[in-house]
Amino acid sequence: MPALSIRPASISDIPSIVEVRLGVLTDKELSGFSVPGSSLYYSKLTEMWNTGNRLKDDSEVFVAVSDGKVVGFIVFSMKQCDDNIDNIVVAKKEQGKGVGRALVEYIEDLAKSRGMDVITTDTTENAKRVPWKAYGFWKKMGYEDTGKRLASGYDFKIIPLVKKLS
């Protein structure tokens, strides 16, 4: 794989972010694990975008670029009352090559540089208590399952995950 770089996303990256997202996750696959209609589509992202690499809710978006092409993205927030890592997606062809790990490590380093000592994320489990496929990734990255299962108002539960940054 060519050299990978990670940088703040800009509004001009929206088409690439949407392409990565749509190439990996189908609405059918997300059924039972996500809020219906919550997909990242061009018009929704454009509407949400504020300035620089921030969304209107102050979340920051970073992209992984390989050979001049966006191959993954991650959404990060400094809010204490919410998950810090809200979303991560890696292009199907790039999965298993360390892109997801690089994005998460980049965010963890950023969080540490901003004085955070704990970082959170979540995943979901469906009504059959089967966790979303990201659960194993987060465990491999050192995130601990809090043991909580939070109601979502939909046909899935939220699994909060936490990692102490050292």
Task: Give domain limits for the chain.
Answer: 4-164
Name the token pair of 107. 């965010």
pLDDT at 33: 67
- Residues 56-89: tens digit of each pLDDT: 777 889 999 999 999 999 999 887 666 699 889 9
Higher pLDDT, 20 or 29: 20
* Cβ proximity of 131 and 74 under 8 Å: no
Percent of residues, the chain, with pLDDT higher than 90 = 58
3-state secondary structure of 112: helix
End-to-end CA distance of the chain: 29
Beta bridge partners of 69: 66
Average pLDDT in the chain: 87
pLDDT at 39: 56
Residue 85 burial by Cβ neighbours in a 10 Å radius (0-12, 13-18, 19+): buried
Options 3.40.50.620, 1.10.3720.10, 3.40.50.1370, 3.40.630.30; CATH for 4-164 is 3.40.630.30
6/101 Cα distance (integer angstroms): 12
pLDDT over 90 (residue 43) = no
- pTM, 2 dp: 0.87
